[in-house]
Chains A and B, each alone.
Chain A
């Protein structure tokens, strides 16, 4: 067994909240540069250059790339041989969010009650997912989620007979309806299978993967490639002002499901797809 103080977690979460908001990850930045060379629309090209310029300003000045610094989604892989001390892990993560947002001049975008809508003023609580794993380490991923793109996400309980074509149609329909709203170019996360909440969770998890990575199963990695090509034929383009760069990545995750069902969730991210991980 290994003892870990939750205070270490607070410190790491605080740093990651800031880093995720200030620094565009390399896979995304490289993709934006590649697409800016390929983009056919002159306005679209200009927008991609501006988005890259924006990332450079944010990173060099330690300011957020976007004013919507998101609601924090945290994935925690907790090794079963870890013994936590000095408090509750959930409290420690929320304390890290609180300190990270206050000290990093990040926007507080969380309301306490979805109907009464009073701001909690410290961006807590986060949405925290725990997963028990082997070993004596803790892996934490922090992903600030903006709602311009979250609002464009959709779910559908397809019939088994709808099959892969049903999945494709639903993903394309979702991106098409979203149009300019989620700040394209977007990254699309798709969860297929499980139950209603499992499909949503794996869709979100898929967005934590490098956008150049492929699903290990060939029929799913082929689906990722095909969806990306189809999305970029929609014409939406950067910011919806026309072009061939509507998405820069599609990641799909699957899970076993029931004989009667084919749940699908499409979770849309803006280009920034902010996420940072650490291992304690």
Chain B
């Protein structure tokens, strides 16, 4: 029932993903949240983004420190809307996947439709469980930001759900209607 997706997330794979699909991601993802996004948007202008944006997936997370011997500490998603105003330049430069939690604004959704990208939700508050799907973690940029630095994560069977697909279908809106009792 769950779809296995190997990364990078090419346009072909993006087109095949639909809101409501439960997926297991394997491969490389990059972390970035509030402070890193501010720098990434500047980096796009200056052409010095610290990783290849084309077909990349960014995970909105600031992990807890890892205990000795662990690949990473607890690492669930942070709320995505805070990145909304800083997302379009990344989509324009090839970003195809974002993992977070919560609603996105119309600007982001329009950008996803235009450039071909998918928004996944991971379970907020399940950081200890999610950490078990991270094989390795390495800071690759903005080390001074501490937990907000950009990390390259190698993940295996990272569980998430397609909430908004590249066609603009939004599972948050669709599913809520089904259970609403007014």
Q: Shortest CB–CB separation between residue A215 and chain B, in angstroms?
A: 25
In the complex, whether B95 has a CB less than 8 A from a CB of chain A is: no
Which residues of B sit under 8 angstroms from A66, Cβ to Cβ? Answer: 74, 76, 124-128
Residue of A233, A242, A244 with most partner-chain B CB within 10 A: A242
Of A65, A107, A236, the residue contacting B65 (CB under 8 A) is A107
Contact of B147 among A108, A235, A239, A242 (CB under 8 A): A108
Partner of B64 from A57, A105, A179, A272 at Cβ < 8 Å: A105
B176 touches A51 (CB 8 A): no
* A258 on the B face (CB < 8 A): no
Chain B positions within 8 Å of A108 at CB level:
146-147
Q: Is A201 an interface residue (CB 8 A)?
A: no
5 A-B pairs with C-beta separation under 8 A: A41-B178, A54-B127, A237-B175, A242-B176, A272-B125
The answer for the CA separation of A164 and B79 in the assembled complex, in Å, is: 32
- Taken together as a complex, chains A and B put the C-alpha atoms of A181 and B76 apart, in Å, by 13
**Interface pair A67/B176, CB less than 8 Å apart:** no
Q: Which residues of A contact B75 (CB under 8 A)?
A: 67
Residues of chain B within 8 A of A107, CB atoms compared? 62-65, 73, 147
Tally chain A residues at the interface, Cβ within 8 Å: 47
Say whether A109 contacts B125, CB under 8 Å.
Answer: no
A48-66 Cβ-contact flags toward B at 8 Å (1 or 0): 0011011001100101111
| Complexed CA–CA distance, A47 and B160 (Å) | 11
Report how far A58 CA is from B39 CA in the complex, Å. Answer: 33
**A-to-B contact residues, CB < 8 Å:** 40-41, 43, 47, 50-51, 53-54, 57-58, 61, 63-69, 105-109, 117, 119, 121, 148, 151, 179-183, 233-237, 239-244, 270-272
Closest CB of chain A to B14's CB: distance in Å?
21
Interface centre among B61, B79, B121 (most CB of A within 10 A): B79
Q: How far is the CB of B36 from chain A (nearest CB, A)?
A: 13
- Tell me, rounded to whole Å, the shortest Cβ–Cβ distance linking B180 to chain A: 3
Mark out the residues of chain B between 147 and 182 whose CB falls within 8 Å of any chain A CB in the assembled complex.
147, 161, 163, 171-172, 174-182
| A121/B146 contact (C-beta < 8 A), A67-B63, A180-B121 known | yes
Say yes or no: A67-B175 contact (C-beta < 8 A), given A270-B124, A271-B125.
no
Q: Contacts of B123 on A, CB cut-off 8 Å?
A: 47, 50-51, 54, 239
Q: Which residues of A contact B181 (CB under 8 A)?
A: 233, 235
Question: B146 — which chain A residues lie within 8 A by C-beta?
Answer: 108, 119, 121
Complex contact B76–A242 (CB within 8 A) = no
Cβ of A78 to closest chain B Cβ, rounded Å: 32
Contact yes or no, B128 A179, CB < 8 A = no
* B64, A181: Cβ atoms closer than 8 Å: no
**CB-nearest residue of chain A relative to B38?**
A117
Q: Which of B121-148 contact A (CB under 8 A)?
A: 121, 123-129, 131-132, 146-147
The answer to whether A54 touches B176, judged by C-beta atoms less than 8 angstroms apart, is no
- Name the A residues within 8 Å of B124 (CB-CB): 66, 148, 183, 239, 270
Q: Is B50 an interface residue (CB 8 A)?
A: no
Cross-chain contact A181 with B103 (CB below 8 angstroms): yes
